[in-house]
Amino acid sequence: MLEKMIVLFILYTVILISDVPRLKQKMRRERWSYTAILMISFYICFDFLLEKDLPGLNDLVNFIFSEPAKMIVESVKLPEG
């Protein structure tokens, strides 16, 4: 947990030090977009730190595509053994 927090702290610090001065000169649309993407990153951060296995992209993908993909692969796959 501590190790992960340190990693994230370093990453966010590097990114913010690099982008905040530039962001101050940007239009509102740029700032909002940037903030929105950071918000999304906080959600995944939470999952990364606490290992809560929160619903994510892969769950959505699996829900939609996993079964049809399995059917396609099974229809052409070599039999086991």
Interaction of residue 20 with other proteins, rule CB under 8 A: no
Interaction of residue 7 with other proteins, rule CB under 8 A: yes
Out of 1, 68, 80, 81, the residue judged to bind other proteins by CB under 8 A = 68
Three-state DSSP state, 81? coil
CA distances in angstroms from 4 to 14, 25, 35, 48, 49, listed in the order given: 15, 32, 22, 8, 6
Out of 48, 55, 80, 81, the residue judged to bind other proteins by CB under 8 A = 48
**53: left (phi > 0), else alpha (psi -120 to 50), else beta?**
left
Three-state DSSP state, 55? coil
Q: Which residues bind other proteins (CB under 8 A)?
A: 3-4, 7, 11-12, 14-15, 18-19, 22-23, 26-27, 29-30, 33-34, 37-38, 40-41, 44-45, 47-48, 53, 56-58, 61-62, 64-66, 68-70, 72-73, 76-78
